[in-house]
């Protein structure tokens, strides 16, 4: 693994425009449960029952009680880990321009990244369904379920539920960023959720190098990624940044 970490540091040093695509794996070390895979939230709940927009519209109190309330309690105390901090350092070094994230936790922004495309929106914000006012999830009072806006409207996560479209701006900007970069870091994503999983494909087709950081192989590993560094995001990013910063 040390040889691959050195290679990644060399490739990042030579890159002009780095973009990162991140998934749930980068936030696991911050105590945020993934939705998919072993131990994921969808082993506990049927996503069509708690995360579909029709379920929310039919009974927002139930979805808040089963899903959103627990997510809020997790996000209230979660903080960026070394994986997030490593990407923020890359931006500070003027290497990384954009983070495309499938995550809904707001931890990239908390770590210091300034251009974060939230492909699926964010649970770190709540939006009034009547007036569209935005609230920081940490500041929302959940003594009443569902919580309400000052105008009386019901608050909902400012995220994409099943049955809703990916925001067109996020789609367009993600594809543009992927096509413009010369190196893409793919960190902590299973690469099975479309259309986010297409971003490394677009980058590769545009000539970018793809470095994958994941605990296991993904559909990208053999045909799209130039190489895979297998392990936890925080440890690997620490190793890469240590080599970069010592140059």
Q: Which residues are catalytic?
A: 120
d(CA 158, CA 227): 35
Among 79, 80, 103, 98, CA closest to 159: 103
Q: How far apart are CA 56 and CA 230, in angstroms?
A: 38
Q: Measured between alpha carbons, how far is 247 from 245 in angstroms, rounded to an integer?
A: 6
DSSP conformation letters of 102-151: ---S-HHHHHT-S-EEETTEEEEEEEETTT--EEEGGG---SSSS-B-TT
- CA-to-CA separations, 173 to 57, 99, 114, 197, 208, in angstroms, rounded: 29, 11, 14, 15, 17
């Amino acid at each position: 693994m040390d040889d691959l970490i050195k290679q990644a540091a060399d490739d990042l040093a030579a890159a002009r425009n780095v973009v990162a695509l991140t998934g749930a794996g980068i936030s696991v070390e911050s105590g945020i449960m993934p939705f998919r895979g072993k131990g994921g939230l969808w082993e506990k709940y049927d996503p069509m029952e708690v995360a579909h927009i029709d379920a929310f519209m039919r009974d927002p109190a139930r979805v808040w009680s089963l899903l959103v309330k627990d997510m809020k309690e997790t996000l209230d105390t979660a903080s960026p880990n070394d994986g997030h901090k490593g990407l923020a350092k890359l931006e500070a070094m003027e290497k990384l321009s954009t983070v495309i994230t499938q995550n809904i936790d707001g931890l990239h922004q908390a770590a210091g990244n300034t251009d974060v495309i939230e492909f699926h929106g964010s649970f770190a914000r709540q939006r009034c369904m009547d007036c569209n006012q935005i609230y920081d999830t940490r500041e929302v009072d959940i003594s009443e379920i569902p919580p309400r806006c000052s105008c009386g409207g019901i608050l909902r996560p400012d995220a994409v539920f099943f049955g809703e479209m990916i925001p067109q701006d996020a789609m367009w900007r993600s594809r543009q960023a992927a096509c413009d970069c010369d190196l893409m870091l793919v960190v902590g994503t299973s690469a099975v959720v479309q259309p986010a999983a297409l971003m490394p494909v677009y980058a590769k087709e545009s000539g970018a190098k793809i470095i994958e950081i994941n605990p296991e192989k993904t559909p990208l590993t053999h045909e799209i990624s130039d190489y895979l560094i297998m392990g936890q995001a925080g440890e690997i990013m620490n190793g890469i940044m240590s080599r970069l910063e010592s140059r």
